[in-house]
Amino acid sequence: MAAAAKIAPSMLSSDFANLASEAERMVRLGADWLHMDVMVRHFVPNLTIGAPVIESLRKHTKAYLDCHLMVTNPSDYVEAFGKAGASGFTFHIEVARDNWKELTQSIKAKGMRPGVSLKPGTPVEDVFPLVEAETPVELVLVMTVEPGFGGQKFMPEMMDKVRTLRKKYPSLDIEVDGGLGPSTIDAAASAGANCIVAGSSVFGAPDPGEVISALRKSVEASQIKS
Annotated binding site for substrate, which residues?
A: 10, 68, 148-151, 179, 199-200
**In terms of Cα–Cα distance, which of 37, 36, 39, 40 is closest to 61?**
36
Among residue numbers 47 through 86, which ones bind Fe ion (CB under 5 A)?
68
DSSP labels, 30-79: T-SEEEEEEEBSSSSS-B---HHHHHHHHTT--SEEEEEEE-S-GGGGHH
Q: The sheet that has 6-9: what strands, in order across it?
A: 6-9, 195-198, 173-177, 139-143, 113-118, 88-92, 64-70, 33-39
37 part of the active site: yes
126 part of the active site: no
Binding site: what residues are annotated? 10, 35, 37, 68, 148-151, 177, 179, 199-200
User: Of 158-166, 167-175, 194-202, 207-215, which segment contacts ligand 5SP by CB under 6 A?
Assistant: 194-202
Nearest distance, CB of residue 141 and ligand 5SP, angstroms: 8
Among residue numbers 32 through 71, which ones bind ligand 5SP (CB under 6 A)?
35, 37, 68
**Nearer to ligand 5SP (CB atom), residue 153 or residue 168:** 153
CA distance 196 to 190: 12
Nearest distance, CB of residue 179 and Fe ion, angstroms: 11
Report the catalytic residues: 37, 177
